[in-house]
Chains A and B, each alone.
Chain A
Amino acid sequence: MVPLWAYLLVAAGLFCIGAYGVLSRRNAVAVLMGVELMLNAVNINLVAFWRYLSPLNMGGQAFVAFVFVVAAAEAAVGLAIIISVYRSRRSVIVEDVDIMKW
């Protein structure tokens, strides 16, 4: 089988690419895509540790199922906020939405 470290390296790479997207993109939808990539990196890690360290304890897979649920909720609410902001300000560029900046 492919060793555990290979999966962990892929997950680390995916997480860092997602983090770069979140930090550097201007479009809020692209930022949300970066968040999805980071959540997927976490899921790879959870499943890999479940498979290699405790394949009989369902905690790893159950956790991934909950991450799916939270990711779906996050995407729905996040995109609703983006559409609402676009309706009122004609922009989804994150720097334009600074009304809560102190």
Chain B
Amino acid sequence: MLEFNVQTLAFLLFSLFVLGGAAGVVTTRNLIHATLYLILSLFGVAGLFVLMSAPFLAVVQVVVYIGAIAILIVFAVMLTRSMTRLRDLYNHQWAASAVVAVLLFVLLAVGVILPVWGVNGAQTPTEVSDVVADTVELGKALVDRNQYVLPFELASLLLTAAMIGAIVVARDDE
């Protein structure tokens, strides 16, 4: 089970942010409030990244997700003002969606739990290495000829294409 220490406490707190924020996103009527819940959830994910010793990803999570994507969503909500508070929050298939989501969660949870506590499960926790590659290694890997330089360049191309595409699609044609 979980041992009780500061790290576990932080994990539980951030998990509460993540899941509570997510629940707020899908149940709140007012979309501005839903976006604020989304920011809470994304912040919790950044905290989990810090706990897993990935500080660079945590900062990128705050800058890109909270600083850019969430603000973009706020803009979209405000530009579609009359749609911010719909009277009917859910479509007619919401009950089926809830069943599907719960079943999927049960399936995933069984898949996660069974290898740990199942009949042939590994009851003892496996050794976790204290040696972790740092941000310098990530930077090197992203521009290394034998690793990720090609996907890295493709990602920049994708961002440019998406930016031009978004401008063209959202432009007013008179």
Q: Which of A7, A9, A50, A62 contacts B147 (CB 8 A)?
A: A62
A65-B57 contact in complex given A7-B52, A29-B76, C-beta closer than 8 Å: yes
A47-B104 contact in complex given A14-B22, A76-B72, A82-B76, C-beta closer than 8 Å: no
Decide: B83 and A44 in contact? CB cutoff 8 A.
no
Residues 13-55 of A at the B interface (beta carbon under 8 Å): 13-21, 23-27, 29-30, 32-34, 36-37, 40, 43-44, 47-48, 50-52, 55
Residues 37-95 of B at the A interface (beta carbon under 8 Å): 38, 41-42, 45, 48-49, 51-54, 56-57, 60-61, 64-65, 68-69, 72-73, 75-77, 79-80, 82-83, 86, 88-91, 93-94
Residues 8-57 of B at the A interface (beta carbon under 8 Å): 8, 11, 15, 18-19, 22-23, 25-26, 31, 34-35, 38, 41-42, 45, 48-49, 51-54, 56-57
Interface SS, B side: helix
Q: A residues within 8 Å of B by Cβ? A: 1-10, 12-21, 23-27, 29-30, 32-34, 36-37, 40, 43-44, 47-48, 50-52, 55-59, 61-62, 64-66, 68-77, 79-84, 86-87, 90-95
